[in-house]
Structure 1
């Protein structure tokens, strides 16, 4: 993301916006936040830094750098962070909720349409085309991140190691991220030059100007942004029960084998380890949801990602689709659509509630940790590992999109998933190749490619 502005053309920093004015801006951002985290962060920069000057360039980048260290969607957490700086806890709540709600409502509607009309031939053909486009989108995301993250041989080695750990050895995703973070920590001690390549320290190049938050700090109006042990304990006492209380209640009332208990427990754990954004964690979620719990099949996971790509808000909303299908398939005594809606709601809660906890608890300490080299080095290593994780996701999707049969094969400690070559679907391969050509060679937008592949899928199915 290029952030370059003409300082002479900037208006003077405004006074603190009213809560109502800020709410309107957060609603606008929530409705227009398409394009994944890169597009969402660029939109927030344009609205908050360039046009309104509510936050200065350096403080914006500082907040972004440390939101990337947290598990969960960094763009939403950045919105919570800025809303909290401007209007304390209420401002953070409004910013974070409005960033998620529009996309969540759209995703719920699309999930219902999916289960009701998925078997209609035309709808099935549309999703056939969307799957091919999703494969291209994931590959393009991996290449985009790799250009930023893999600046030297050490970063390339970390990315390759992450890929092999997941694809060949089936190591748990959280373990891979933990090892990457530890590698960055050790690198900051013994080879610091190699771990400054990620560009996360926010040093240099940012024009000096004061935003509203900076002026608030100078006037002593950011007392809530100072670390406080008492406030931290109160935050934990409030948000931990809010986040995990429903899951504990489900365990007590329904037991560990109930689908809602499984949804709450699994996605609560995901909320703690989702470093690197949605693409990084999807392969692990897909493996658990498809092979572990049997909530959905591989093709449906790709469909869900395609739906999430077309909605505003964080891409991690694809988890809502997974929760919906899981409860829809095992509704108990409920109507399937009601059960699915409750499953989606529970997934949303345990996925996004901790995002508020991370910011409200940690942001005051983050404000006091400017330029910390150890944290920056850990983030650089984790970002490099995320490239390998995304490539593993692209391979997983590719195998299930292009081939009708994929089987795990054991070679001693190695356990890769390999395709049956005779099950290759030439139509899917043709669509995927066209989608990658459109995105990588002709620089077509994601929405254009998704729509084009969906229509091409219908045409190929009619011809087939």
Structure 2
């Protein structure tokens, strides 16, 4: 690990002295990244909270401000922000190899889990006990997401202005269906102007009423320089290398199989999705579902929700649902291949073109974002964007809660307001009971994530065996 480790030399009277963490090799970091990957349930909110707890609070590998700065950048990018955040921190610590390890491991459990469940789904349709497992896990994930919203909000919403930005973002996306990129752009402009004006409310890393901020020392503090710097030559090489890794397989498929082959359609369609998935998986799932069902005929109506249920209750980014879509598309149109072989290759192809661009964005852009950390106006813009993202994550939490506890919702329009409301008769009492128990376990009894997930999964399977769900 390059750089120096800074130790507090003048602690407050009576305060405990925090020892500096020891340098970490890439080999020593691998088990930690694997642990984060295995715990990456609950969508971006839960995943970011897990990373914060392990990397900032437990391991003290990266400071609070540095973590939020990386998160700010990742929320601006298309693709899954949690996976890109892991890649960014891995890159900060150990360069390109570290980014590959952290980002690759973050995706791996989801790839394996979704692939296995896709096989079961394609062969048997009704997954029996697996359905009960999912039912229980959803309740636990809801509690974890709620906890994550609170934890991230406490860290990012420093003062009434930032709280107001988060609230405005939630109202805009939930009630007015404002596109996520517009929310990010508006928050960034507000923060930039506030930073340029020197307003203290927009000062990055401030200590307003946002909860306790951890003090150093950290392995990567606010002044530590990354191993790889911004420079034209290396940037061009990274751009060409990762552009080729992403697009050469796509071009090869089109040339070998023709543009009308199902594998070519999958490669091109999900490559385009990788460039426009701002705001995470939910922002584009309706479009993906519409195209997969109505235009391409890859899925039957309702199957997209089954795939989303897999992605929501297995480790990894929610955008992993696209692997299920790619699997079913090629499973049902296998050509000369055995259907399961075609489905497996189609699912892996979808994952490749979905995540290869994520590494391109980080390895090309992160060195320049690091160089801009000292710019007050830009730092203020990124802090405002983070506040807005808290509101967006709260919107996802509400969406998830509605679809966990109620089987059906209906759209409602009141003047300019457009939002979903639950249908009371579709309330699932067992889902509500399990969700309430999970919330109590997490907030009242401080039960850990693994214990909560395991208990709810067991309860879900028991309810399934009893024929209650």
Q: What TM-score, normalized to structure 1?
A: 0.76
Matched, 1:75 2:86: yes
Aligned partners of 2:107 and 2:425: how far apart in 1?
43
SS of equivalent to 2:276? helix
Displacement, 1:394?
1.7
Does the Cα contact within 8 Å between 1:137 and 1:446 map onto a contact in 2?
yes
In structure 2, relative to structure 1, the CA distance for the partners of 1:292 and 1:393 (3 Å cut) is farther
Q: 1:349 is matched with which residue: 347, 352, 358?
A: 352
Q: Which residue of 2 aligns with 1:287?
A: 286
Alpha-carbon deviations, 1:433-455, whole Å to 9, x = none?
Answer: 11111112222122222221222
1:403 aligned to which of 397, 406, 426: 406
Give the distance between the partners of 2:116 and 2:168, measured in 1 at CA. Answer: 39
SS of corresponding position for 2:421? strand
Q: Give the equivalent residue in structure 1 for 2:128.
A: 121
Counterparts of 1:148 and 1:199 in 2: how far apart (Å)?
A: 10
2:142 paired with 1:135? yes
Q: 1:138 to 1:285 in 2, by over 3 A?
A: farther
Q: Name the CA distance, whole Å, in 2 between partners of 1:210 and 1:39.
A: 18
Partner deviation per Cα, 1:208-247 (whole Å, 9 max, x = no partner):
8899x97xx8xxxx9x734322222232232223334445
Is 2:425 the partner of 1:414?
Answer: no
Secondary structure of residue in 1 paired with 2:401: helix
1:7 Cα shift?
A: 6.6
Structure 2 CA distance for partners of 1:427 and 1:106, relative to 1, 3 Å? closer
Native 8 Å contact 2:133 2:460 kept in 1: yes
Gaps (5+ residues) in structure 1? Answer: 51-56, 275-280, 309-314
Q: For residue 39 of structure 1, what is the aligned residue in structure 2?
A: 50
Identify if the C-alpha distance between structure 1 residues 141 and 347 changes in structure 2 by more than 3 Å, giving closer, same or farther.
farther
Q: Call closer, same or farther: CA 1:62–1:133 in 2, change over 3 Å.
A: closer
- What does residue 443 of structure 2 align with? 440
Instruction: Name 1:179's counterpart in structure 2.
Output: 186
User: 1:79: Cα distance to partner?
Assistant: 0.5
* Alignment partners' CA distance in 1, 2:454 and 2:134: 10
Question: What are the within-5 Å matches in structure 2 for residues 76-95 of structure 1?
Answer: 76-84=87-95, 89-90=96-97, 92-94=99-101
Give 3-state SS (helix, strand or coil) of 1:444's partner.
coil
**Counterpart residue number, 1:66:** 70
Contact 2:140 2:456 in 1 (8 A): yes
What SS does the corresponding residue of 1:416 show, helix, strand or coil? strand
Q: Whole-Å Cα distance in 2 between the matches of residues 209 and 176 of structure 1?
A: 34
Query: What's the RMSD between the two structures over aligned residues?
Result: 3.8
Instruction: Assess, with a 3 A threshold, how the Cα gap between structure 1 residues 207 and 44 changes in structure 2: closer, same or farther.
Output: closer
Q: 1:131 to 1:300 in 2, by over 3 A?
A: farther
Distance 1:46 1:148, change over 3 A: closer
Deviation at 1:65, TM superposition (A): 2.4
Q: 2:200 matched to which residue of 1?
A: 193
Question: Is residue 361 of structure 1 aligned with residue 364 of structure 2?
Answer: yes
Q: How far did residue 91 of structure 1 move? A: 5.4
Instruction: State how 1:213-362 maps to structure 2 within 5 Å.
Output: 225-247=228-250, 253-254=258-259, 258-270=265-277, 273-274=278-279, 281-290=280-289, 293-294=292-293, 296-298=303-305, 300-308=307-315, 315-316=316-317, 318-329=318-329, 331=331, 332-333=333-334, 334-362=337-365
Long gaps (5+) in structure 2 = 1-5, 9-15, 41-46, 208-212, 294-298
Give the direction of change, closer, same or farther, for the CA distance of 1:344–1:377 in structure 2 (3 Å limit). Answer: farther
CA distance in structure 1 between the aligned counterparts of 2:143 and 2:218, rounded to whole angstroms? 39
